[in-house]
Structures are given as C-alpha cells and as structure tokens.
C-alpha cells in the first residue's frame, strides 16, 4: 500500500492510498474559507457520558444531486473534495468535523448554570474514507482486492490516530443507505478519533471485567466459542466467524469475530485480513439480496480503547433497521427513551434466512 499526503485549499489533509505507484499531484484550486471548529464536549453527570456539541455541522452538505456530489473525482469546471481525476481509496479530514485537532480551545470549564456539566474542547479527528471513485458502486461490489485495500487503510488510520496525544478510542464505520441517514450517496465511510471511551465500549469492558472477577474466565472467548458452534452462524472460515447474536437488538444484525483474540485492526495479519474480506463480502451480498431491495445498514468496528487493549477482542457489528419488505424498524419509546430494545425478529430465524440467500 502506497500513501500520498497532500493538502486541500483550506489546509485540511487528504491522503491517497494506492496499490501501485501513482502520481498524485493535482492541486485544489477552490476558494475555500478556513475550517473553524467550535465543537465542545459536555459531560452528563447523571449518565456519566460525554456528549459532543457541534452546532456548526448544521450547514453541511445534504443530499446533493448525483452530478454535484462533492466526493466524486474532480473534473474540468467541477472541482470537488478530491482534486485528482481518479483514485482508489482516499481519506481526508471532514470539512464539517464533529471533532478536530484544530478545535477552538477557548471554552468555559462548565455549561452555563450547571457546574456539574463539565466542558472540554471537542478535540479529536473526524475523517472521511472514500472506498472508490465510482459514484454508483457499493461496498458489496468492490471486489476482494479493493475491499482488502480498505481494510489496510482502516488499520493504518487506526494506528496513526491512536498515537495522537489525547485520543482514547478510534472508531471506523460505514453508514449505507438513505434510510440510515446517509446524506451523501457516494460509497464512503468515516473514522472518529474520540478523546474519551465511548459508552458502548465502556459497558462491554465492564461486563468483561466483572465476568473475569467472578469466574476467572474471558467473556469474549466464551461468547465466540459458543456462537461459533451454535445455530446462528451465517458464514465462517478458518479465521473468522459471522453470526447473528443471541440477543440481537436490530431486525438484521451480524457480528464478525476473528477466531484469534486481537485488540484492533492493526493487529490482524495478512491472512486474517484476506479472510475477513471473504466473509464480509459474503454477508453484505446476503444483506443486498435478502429482500427485493438492498438493506440499508451500519457497519461498526468495535476496537480496543487506546489504554485497555489487553481486555478487548476486535469485532464488527453489521446491522440493518429493515425488518420486512417496505418496513423499517424505528426506535420507539422503549428504545429511544430507556435504551431497552424490543426486537421484531427472532435471531435464529434471521440466521436461517441469511444462510438461505443465494449469493452467486
């Protein structure tokens, strides 16, 4: 993998990733204002969670026509976020970042009128990952070679962002489909470098640590062993297993675990990365063919926090809010208000349905 670093007109970094040497000398000639980020972190003392306040993102690009997509390659008279006329995989700093290393540090220490609501600058980094220059392709159709390049890019960015002073967790993800909330249809994902450990990871870590204290066992290892031999496996190979979790929250949800315990993407070997691509593209194809239209989905990498690597087992969550043809699951009062999920599908049935999908 060859990495080339350049700068956009407003000073943001753009990174080109190629498999073979490629000249990347196009210059961004747009007249762009400097990026000004005033994100804040506000602490919710009751929940013990940090909330990012990023009101400047209200002006971000929203559902532009396909011929005005800012993620396509540039062409004469139509400059975009990518100055080159073609590319393989590209990463750049978000123009409307929720977190930034260049954030305004001059913030009060507490929210107005509440000394318990601690405030901090919204430090971190928010990056956009473009999987292909082809506007009309989707991840499921990238092919093994390009998908593997994306995995290598995720790993490279995870390693670099984890090394930033103040970053506590790196999150790679893809939102796919307008029903999920995607505002730009070009095939892309994002990476967040958080200055805190996210609520989900904190909760899972707490469960792992309590289980070890009570039994001496590794909760991750026991879950992987049980599910890999159980009725909810969708597809597996010598390095990975992909299964519908026993207590799935979403109508269609699959978790991908490597069979070797590793904390994050950089720790995966070449054979494990190739094997992941094999199972991931297989399951994405099943998601695309399960109903008469492809399912919208979120693909969410659960990586180790920077300071808690020994307790973690890397895994990916892939889930969709599609519950039936033409029907979506909306978060209702129980889910949105109390965080108590009520699922519309049976996990064993979902696994059987996905196994039955013909993918070739």
* Mean pLDDT of the region 32-61: 84
Tell me: do 95 and 207 sit in the same domain: no
With bands split at pLDDT 50, 70 and 90, how would you rate the model's confidence at 57?
Answer: low
Tell me: do 280 and 338 sit in the same domain: yes
181-229 pLDDT, tens digit each: 788 889 999 999 999 999 999 999 999 999 999 999 999 999 999 999 9
In the predicted structure, residue 36 carries a pLDDT above the cut 80: no
239-289 pLDDT, tens digit each: 999 999 999 999 999 999 999 999 999 999 999 999 999 999 999 999 999
Alpha-carbon distance 104 to 122, whole Å?
A: 8
In the predicted structure, residue 107 carries a pLDDT above the cut 80: yes
317-354 pLDDT, tens digit each: 999 999 999 888 988 899 999 999 999 999 999 999 99
Tell me: do 171 and 317 sit in the same domain: no
Alpha-carbon distance 265 to 227, whole Å?
A: 21
Boundary-marking domain end, from 178, 196, 214:
196
Is 308 tagged catalytic?
A: no
Q: Give 74's DSSP letter.
A: P
Per the prediction, the chain carries an average pLDDT of 94
N-term to C-term CA, the chain: 30
Boundary-marking domain end, from 196, 227, 256:
196
Domain residues for the domain of 156 are 2-196
Question: Taking the model in full, what pTM does it have?
Answer: 0.95
Chain CA centroid to CA 23, Å: 29
- Among 102, 101, 69, 83, smallest CA distance to 4 is for 83
Boundary-marking domain end, from 133, 162, 196:
196
Q: How many domains does the chain have?
A: 2
Give the DSSP letter string of 102-143: T------SEETTEEEEEEEE--SEEEEEE--S-TT--GGGS-
* Mean pLDDT of the region 304-317: 96
Tell me: do 270 and 287 sit in the same domain: yes
pLDDT of residue 260: 98
Contacts 24+ apart (CB under 8 A), 229-233: 231/348, 231/351, 232/347, 232/348, 232/350, 232/351, 233/351
Instruction: Compute the Cα dihedral for 61, 66, 71, 74 and give only its sign.
Output: negative
* Mean pLDDT of the region 158-176: 97
Residue 335 phi/psi, 5-degree rounding, is -75, -50
* Continuous segment of H or E residues that includes residue 348: helix 347-356
Residue 338: how many CA atoms within 13 Å on its side-chain side? 6
pLDDT over 70 percentage in the chain: 98
Beta bridge partners of 90: 16, 130
With bands split at pLDDT 50, 70 and 90, how would you rate the model's confidence at 167?
Answer: very high
38-42, 128-132, 189-193, 315-319: the lowest-pLDDT one: 38-42
* Mean pLDDT of the region 129-148: 97
Tell me: do 29 and 127 sit in the same domain: yes
Q: Are strands 2-7 and 13-18 parallel, antiparallel or unpaired?
A: antiparallel
Q: CB within 8 A of 273, min separation 6: which ones?
A: 148, 151, 152, 155
Are the beta carbons of 60 and 95 closer than 8 angstroms? yes
* Mean pLDDT of the region 103-112: 86
Are the beta carbons of 171 and 198 closer than 8 angstroms? yes
* Mean pLDDT of the region 134-163: 97
Alpha-carbon distance 265 to 155, whole Å?
A: 5
Alpha-carbon distance 194 to 217, whole Å?
A: 29
- The catalytically annotated residue of 176, 186, 188, 315 is 188
Tell me: do 170 and 268 sit in the same domain: no
Q: What 3-state class would DSSP assign to 288?
A: helix
* Mean pLDDT of the region 68-78: 93
pLDDT of residue 201: 97
Tell me: do 184 and 266 sit in the same domain: no
Tell me: do 191 and 205 sit in the same domain: no
């Amino acid at each position: 993998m060859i990495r080339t670093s350049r700068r956009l007109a407003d000073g943001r970094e753009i990174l080109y990733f190629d498999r073979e040497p490629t000249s990347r000398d196009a210059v961004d000639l747009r007249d762009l204002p400097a990026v000004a980020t005033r994100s804040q972190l506000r602490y919710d003392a009751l929940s013990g969670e940090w909330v990012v306040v990023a009101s400047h993102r209200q002006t971000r690009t929203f559902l532009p026509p396909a011929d005005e997509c800012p993620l396509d390659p540039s062409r004469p008279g139509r400059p975009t976020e990518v100055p080159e006329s073609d590319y393989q995989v590209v990463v750049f700093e978000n123009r409307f970042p929720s977190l930034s290393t260049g954030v305004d540090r001059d913030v009060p220490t507490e929210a107005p009128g509440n000394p318990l609501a601690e405030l901090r600058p919204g430090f971190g980094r928010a990056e956009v990952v473009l999987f292909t220059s082809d506007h009309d392709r989707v991840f499921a159709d990238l092919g093994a070679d390009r998908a593997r390049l994306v995995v290598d890019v995720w790993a490279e960015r995870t390693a670099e962002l984890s090394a930033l002073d103040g970053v506590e967790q790196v999150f790679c993800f893809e939102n796919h489909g307008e029903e999920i909330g995607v505002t730009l249809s070009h095939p892309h994902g994002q990476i967040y470098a958080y200055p805190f450990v996210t609520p989900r990871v904190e909760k899972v870590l707490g469960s792992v640590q309590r289980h070890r204290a009570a039994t001496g066992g590794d909760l991750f290892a026991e879950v992987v062993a049980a599910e890999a031999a159980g009725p909810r496996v969708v597809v597996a190979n010598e390095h990975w297993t992909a299964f519908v979790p026993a207590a799935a929250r979403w109508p269609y949800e699959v978790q991908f675990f490597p069979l070797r315990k590793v904390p994050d993407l950089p720790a995966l070997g070449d054979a494990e990365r190739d094997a992941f691509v094999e199972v991931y593209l297989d399951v994405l194809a099943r998601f695309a063919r399960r109903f008469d239209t492809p399912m919208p989905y979120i693909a969410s990498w659960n990586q180790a926090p920077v300071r808690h690597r020994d307790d973690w087992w890397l895994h990916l969550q892939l889930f969709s809010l599609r519950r039936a043809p033409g029907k979506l699951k909306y978060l209702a009062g129980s889910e949105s208000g109390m965080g108590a999920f009520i699922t519309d599908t049976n996990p064993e049935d979902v696994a059987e349905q996905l196994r039955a999908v013909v993918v070739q």
